[in-house]
Amino acid sequence: MRQMQRNLKNQLGKISQKLLIVMALIVTTLLALGLLISDKGNSAKQDAHGQTEEGEHAEDEAKNTVHAETEHGEEIALTAKQITEHGIQLALVEVGAVTKSASYPAKVIVNTDRQAHVSPAFSGYVEKVNVELGQRVVKGQALATLMVPDLVDQQANLQIVQANLELARQDYERERQLWSQGISAKQDYQRAYNVYKQAQIQVQASKSRLSAFGAASGSNGRYVLTAPISGIISKKDLVVGENVQLANQLFIIDQLDQLWLEFIAPSADLSAIGLNQQIEFKSLQTGNLFKAQIQSLNTEADLQTGRLQVRAKILSSATELRPNLMVNVQLQQAGSAQALRILKSAIQKVEGKDAVFVASEHDQKIEFKAQPVVLGQISGNAEWVEVQSGLTQGQQYAAQGSFLLKSELEKGEASHEH
């Protein structure tokens, strides 16, 4: 019995040792897992902290072109390197000569020296129209065909005189032969000769009449209107079946490669210009500038307005220039004046107003602010512009590259809206 109790105790002891070993292994594994999780958490925190520092560093770098809200309004700060890279050039507001100029409304018109009016040489009715309004035609091209009763009569008369001519020729040949044989008297031969010559004259006169009207002898009463010059059909006043008269103006053909410019201006402003002098005018649609040459000036001013009418020859064949187009003429006035001025290239439209980007130094950077200005006269060479208010002499401003500053300003405003 005692032996069985001892064996039982030994077995229980072995089981207890095994349980302790298993429990020890479980505790060790749990401790190892806890340490591993703790290390990963610390690494993630360190990485997040590092990324935060890098983001802050990048943000600091981006602040080189940041749009700073200051008490003076939004400004754009750039380093000297960025100013050079963007091609921005600075200048000082100065006092200098500005040539005064004035602007007057003007109208592009057709050069009547390069225009053709087409009218019929006969009265008749329209049988066919060959061209459309606005179509380009060449000299000699058929424009329309008319059926002309008078032309029928003249062509019939030509046929009659041609038949008479043939009869007179035969009579003349016969009398000449008889006279040469001594059978006929000389006066009979002379009479036949005179009749033959008169018949020739009548035929020639009839042909000349038809030729003068531009009608062919065998057209059967049809008269073809042709283009006297090459150009554009700017007027077409006929339809098929319509009766037309001699005085009717059926077509107008314009050559648009040479146009005129007409405007009215005070005589005082025209004192500085003369014949053959070049002037500038601007398209109201595109803003493009073109040149024209003074061609004529009225010798007398209008009694009521005191103004003179001026005509100039346009020295451009641009497709945007068309008859009846309204433009503005820029006329330089006599002399020049001293005024506060800036370069025209510095001016930008900001919120619908003229503005100049004024520069100031701050913390080793150049800060640019859009300063509204009131402008005056533009110099005749379009380089300088008078400043009436908004700037003072000696202020530094962006003379070149101001459009880049405007673009940056608009980007900043868009980011603030979001």
The string of pLDDT tens digits covering residues 53-79 is 444 444 444 444 545 444 445 788 898
Map tokens 């059909």 to a residue.
233
pLDDT in tens, 284-311: 888 888 999 988 877 666 666 667 888 9
pLDDT higher than 80, residue 335: no
pLDDT higher than 50, residue 14: yes
> Rounded to an integer, what distance in angstroms lies between the CA atom of residue 322 and that of residue 265?
22
pLDDT at 309: 84
12: pLDDT confidence band, cut at 50, 70 and 90? very low
Span 67-101+337-417: which CATH code? 2.40.420.20
DSSP-assigned letters across all residues of 145-187: EEE-HHHHHHHHHHHHHHHHHHHHHHHHHHHHHHHHTTSS-HH
258: pLDDT confidence band, cut at 50, 70 and 90? confident
**If you average pLDDT over residues 100-115, what whole number do you get?**
86
38: pLDDT confidence band, cut at 50, 70 and 90? low
Can you name the residues that pair with 359 across neighbouring β-strands?
A: 368
pLDDT in tens, 271-285: 667 788 888 898 888
355: pLDDT confidence band, cut at 50, 70 and 90? very high
Can you name the residues that pair with 262 across neighbouring β-strands?
A: 107, 311
Pick 103-111+255-333's CATH classification: 3.30.479.30, 1.10.3720.10, 2.40.30.170, 3.40.50.11540.
2.40.30.170
CATH fold of 116-254: OB fold (Dihydrolipoamide Acetyltransferase, E2P) (2.40.50)
pLDDT in tens, 111-159: 988 899 999 888 888 989 999 999 999 999 999 998 887 776 677 777 7
* Residues counted in the chain: 418
Which helix (DSSP H) or strand (DSSP E) does residue 280 occupy? strand 278-283
How is the chain split into domains, by residue range?
A: 67-101+337-417, 103-111+255-333, 116-254
Query: What SS3 state is found at 31?
Result: helix
Question: What six digits make up the tokens of 46?
Answer: 């360190």
